[in-house]
Structure 1
Amino acid sequence: MDISLNRDLDSLNLALDALDEWVVVVDHEANIQFINQPYAQFLGIKREDAYGHKVVDVIENTRMHSVLKSGKKELSKLQKIRGRHMIANRYPIRRGGEVIGAIGFVVYHDTHQWQQINTQIKALVSDLDYYRRALDKEQTGAHYHINDLIGRSPAIQNVNEKIKKVAGGDASVLIRGESGTGKELYAHALHLLSERSKGPFIKINCAAIPEHLLESELFGYAEGAFTGAKRGGKQGKFQLANKGTLFLDEIGDMPLSMQAKLLRVLQDREIEAVGSNRLVKIDVRLVTATHQPLEKLVEVNEFREDLYYRINVVSVELPPLRDRREDIPALAEHFLTRLAGRTGRRAPKLTVDALTRMLEYAWPGNVREMENAIESAFYLSQGYKISLQALPAALTDGIELIDQHLEQGTLKERLALAEKEILEQTLVACKGNRQRAAKVLGIGKTTIYDKLVRYQLTGESFDH
């Protein structure tokens, strides 16, 4: 073999050793001819010791010999090696139409990586499969995908990214936020992004069910369990959510007696219906929500500490509307368009003074209050504009203003103050990166530079 060929092979080996993927090559008799260093290191062997040995003797559950026999490639196949699940691709190597060997790649070293990738893919293509998801919604009970949730503010984008990251696993998620921030909508989105998206999505509001009925609602009851019980019994929410997601809203309002029973179910992964002595295994992902400070409830013994840690594996905090006011115009347009679709009426636009007042208002009821305000104004307004006078009295009377000084000055001055504050908030969230801030706000680089000069703001001063 000449020097240049040796050099080429050495370079190829170095390149294969640098890959994240694990690589193995076998000859026509399924003997290992090459294995890259990362793969050998995982197997706990010296790769030179593997050369010439049958691949089945070195790599457990391999199918390289099967590829040699069939001459067909195998893509995205699950393989368990040393107690870990892998995703592998295998290809036959041909010369002159004859199979002379095979090469295999372990693309994902753990199924968790595959779940994360799968979650990202689902998020990217969600706007292309509207009709498929509409059908899925009817089957699963979940109605809102991540792309259905309106908002481009840094605060809401951070929430969306967190939801995408945790959706692929099975960890319990606690969604926190004030009333009206959209906690249930995010529970829907989490389910539809998860590996359980084809399974049921079952929800229950713990504050809406009387204490004496909550146990049977959650765990079901057997026939004859109590007076008035249905013949044949009834399944509870846990049974209905099997292989899917159970969403417990207002978990902070659950009575202590039920908290103990819920904890046992989460620990043992089995339930016992009321009036039954039979334990039933369940496979449910739990998502909970609350507007209450659970830590303070734990301190005063109104919420079990052990249950708190069980449900709070991942915590997602939804920002109040007053902290994401740059989303108000898009939310208003979304609600008006939806109302127009329902009524067959052309979607009206907010006048500048109406939008200004909406930007000033504190929105104690958050997005839910804003939706109600828009609906009220929609039906009270005439023509294609919604004026300040059409807004509910809470807004037009100047109640709950975030900054009292915004009540003063001309409309132009008040708009400028609101715009400046939105720019400041966005620059802080983007750590002073003006290009990123421009992208978040949906404006060009030249436009944001002009506005920064106008309001005497500098991107660097926000880099903290």
Structure 2
Amino acid sequence: MNVIDVMDCAFGGCMAEDTLREAAKRIVDSNKNSLIVVDNYKRYFGILRTSKLLENRGDNSKKVKDVAEYIEPLEEFQNIKTIKNTGSDVIPVVNKEMIPVGVVSLGCIIDHCRCLKEKRKSCKVMGPKYTIDNIIGESEAIRNLKKRIIAASKIKSTVLIMGETGVGKELVANAIVSLSKRRYEPWVRINCAAIPENLLESELFGYEQGSFTGAIRGGSTGKFEIADGGSIFLDEIGDMKLDMQAKILRVLQENEIEKIGGSFPIAVDTRVIAATHENLSSLVNERRFRKDLFYRLNVIPINIPPLRAHKEDLSLLTEHFISEVSFEFGIEKPCIEKEVLDMAYEYDWPGNIREFRNFIEMMVSASSGMITAERASEFFMYHAHEDSRQEKNQLKSSSYEVEKETIRRVLKIHNGNKNKAAESLGISRSTLYNKINRFNIKEA
């Protein structure tokens, strides 16, 4: 939150060369307890308090510059957390040219912080749920991952977490925040793929009262505003539509948001941590993801390895998840046969850590003090059958696409002439027509 968000733009002013009589008249007219004093170039000079006028009452020889008090001004885009106690109830605010643009009072800051605190409380904002200690493993891949997390936690640049489904992208995001200076500030998470496109903008940026049909009275605070001063996690950002990507880009570039129906931007200080299972580089090439947004997000890239890349951690993961699940179920921790781990090493775990954790939960719930190879083999045999079936379907799909593309290419070579195309393909004209209809090939 910056000074500009809490300052009062209505303030009284006078010139340093004004007489005290002229200044007294200005104070009465402005109904203020003090005036901002400027020089002949409209630049900040100091403040004039009513108490100083009373002390020098009747002395017409003095000018404002003789009794004005210099108080170090605030910059309009300065973070309010950096404001130091000056002993003054009012602090001037200036722009880059040192021209006064407002004043800040201690009461105003307290009221604004109280209001924001109530908003966050009503939205049930919580801190990070996990820490780096929740990332289990001692393999080189996991050690390198933890080094990246620690490095990312030390600065506030944008982080892009990439990895397959189930590798633990949200866990890594939580670990970064838990180690950062913002760990006690708001930590807001949102799944971009889980919210309908027409609702995502209002969820992220909020809206003003009456901005659209169904808008609640008093409007709504968006996730970015709630996370002001803290961090926001944008999960599955690769599924976000292009028009929404443009709005996210503006937040990253300008550090400000604009509510739906709002008339002015709101400055926010929010660290963005994004995650995706998609290959954003490929999406950029396909023009499904903005290149400029990709560059803005990819400041600190973190790639989480799939479980098949660090199977040496399976033993530790097994021990951890058995203990965790047993505690949740309120049962005695079961033992596990060595053959079960051997089977686990042979499987590639396409669902990664999430799938492995679900497997352990399944085994613990069905165990009677022992997780047996006989019980585990049912799981692996079922998935071996599923993998085989999927490979056959992929082969069929591949053959279908190859044949469709071949027919489309031959038709293009012969400028759409069906007779010549059928002859080149070695099929009858009627067969060609049937395939064109079946593959839904559009003629150029």
Give the TM bin, normalised by the shorter chain.
Answer: 0.5 to 0.7
Return the offset for 1:166: 1.7
2:380 corresponds, among 395, 406, 417, to 395
Quick one: which amino acid aligns to residue 386 of structure 1? I
Q: What secondary structure, in the 3-state scheme, does the structure 2 residue paired with 1:140 have?
A: coil
CA distance in structure 2 between the partners assigned to 1:234 and 1:398 by the alignment: 46
1:223 corresponds, among 189, 194, 209, to 209
2:256 corresponds, among 259, 270, 284, to 270
Return the offset for 1:168: 1.0
Question: Residues 195-214 of structure 1, C-alpha deviation per residue, up to 9 Å, x if partnerless?
Answer: 11110110111111111111
The percentage of aligned residue pairs carrying the same residue is 46
The 8 Å contact of residues 322 and 333 in structure 2, kept in 1 or not, is answered as yes
Quick one: which amino acid aligns to residue 316 of structure 1? I
Question: Residues 348-399 of structure 1, C-alpha deviation per residue, up to 9 Å, x if partnerless?
Answer: 122011111011110000000001111111111112x101222274414572
Q: What secondary structure, in the 3-state scheme, does the structure 2 residue paired with 1:229 have?
A: coil
Matched, 1:309 2:283: no
Matched, 1:386 2:368: no
The 8 Å contact of residues 187 and 230 in structure 2, kept in 1 or not, is answered as yes
Matched with 1:282 is: 268
Matched with 2:139 is: 153
Q: What secondary structure, in the 3-state scheme, does the structure 2 residue paired with 1:227 have?
A: coil
Return the offset for 1:159: 0.5
Matched with 1:346 is: 332
CA distance in structure 2 between the partners assigned to 1:211 and 1:397 by the alignment: 37
Matched, 1:300 2:291: no
Return the offset for 1:186: 0.4
CA distance in structure 2 between the partners assigned to 1:389 and 1:396 by the alignment: 11
Q: What secondary structure, in the 3-state scheme, does the structure 2 residue paired with 1:165 have?
A: helix
* TM-score relative to the length of structure 2: 0.58
The 8 Å contact of residues 340 and 372 in structure 2, kept in 1 or not, is answered as yes
Return the offset for 1:344: 2.1
Matched with 1:60 is: none
Matched, 1:329 2:315: yes
The 8 Å contact of residues 360 and 401 in structure 1, kept in 2 or not, is answered as no
CA distance in structure 2 between the partners assigned to 1:343 and 1:289 by the alignment: 31
CA distance in structure 1 between the partners assigned to 2:209 and 2:269 by the alignment: 23
2:345 corresponds, among 359, 366, 374, to 359
Matched with 1:246 is: 232
Q: 1:139 to 1:234 in 2, by over 3 A?
A: closer
Q: CA RMSD in A?
A: 1.9
Quick one: which amino acid aligns to residue 259 of structure 2? A
Q: What secondary structure, in the 3-state scheme, does the structure 1 residue paired with 2:220 have?
A: coil
Quick one: which amino acid aligns to residue 312 of structure 2? E
Number of residue pairs matched by the alignment: 265
CA distance in structure 1 between the partners assigned to 2:373 and 2:199 by the alignment: 46
CA distance in structure 1 between the partners assigned to 2:207 and 2:253 by the alignment: 21
Runs of 4+ in structure 1 off by over 6 angstroms are none
Quick one: which amino acid aligns to residue 281 of structure 1? A
The 8 Å contact of residues 361 and 400 in structure 1, kept in 2 or not, is answered as no
Q: What secondary structure, in the 3-state scheme, does the structure 1 residue paired with 2:161 have?
A: strand
Return the offset for 1:141: 3.1
The 8 Å contact of residues 172 and 311 in structure 1, kept in 2 or not, is answered as yes
2:200 corresponds, among 214, 226, 236, to 214
Quick one: which amino acid aligns to residue 224 of structure 2? F
Matched with 1:55 is: none
Q: What secondary structure, in the 3-state scheme, does the structure 2 residue paired with 1:260 have?
A: helix
CA distance in structure 2 between the partners assigned to 1:197 and 1:281 by the alignment: 21
Q: 1:400 to 1:363 in 2, by over 3 A?
A: farther
Quick one: which amino acid aligns to residue 207 of structure 1? A
Q: 1:248 to 1:139 in 2, by over 3 A?
A: closer
Question: Residues 87-145 of structure 1, C-alpha deviation per residue, up to 9 Å, x if partnerless?
Answer: xxxxxxxxxxxxxxxxxxxxxxxxxxxxxxxxxxxxxxxxxxxxxxxxxxx96331110
Matched with 2:167 is: 181
Matched with 2:435 is: none
Query: Unpaired segments of 5 or more residues in structure 2?
Result: 1-83, 85-123, 388-444
The 8 Å contact of residues 373 and 392 in structure 1, kept in 2 or not, is answered as no
Matched with 1:56 is: none
CA distance in structure 2 between the partners assigned to 1:261 and 1:164 by the alignment: 29
Return the offset for 1:401: 12
CA distance in structure 2 between the partners assigned to 1:262 and 1:400 by the alignment: 43
Query: Unpaired segments of 5 or more residues in structure 1?
Result: 1-77, 79-137, 403-464
Matched with 2:355 is: 369
Q: Larger relative contact order (C-alpha < 8 A, sep ≥ 6)?
A: 2
User: Is the radius of gyration larger for structure 1 or structure 2?
Assistant: 2
Q: What secondary structure, in the 3-state scheme, does the structure 1 residue paired with 2:275 have?
A: strand
Matched, 1:169 2:155: yes
Question: Residues 387-436 of structure 1, C-alpha deviation per residue, up to 9 Å, x if partnerless?
Answer: 1222274414572999xxxxxxxxxxxxxxxxxxxxxxxxxxxxxxxxxx
Q: 1:217 to 1:148 in 2, by over 3 A?
A: same
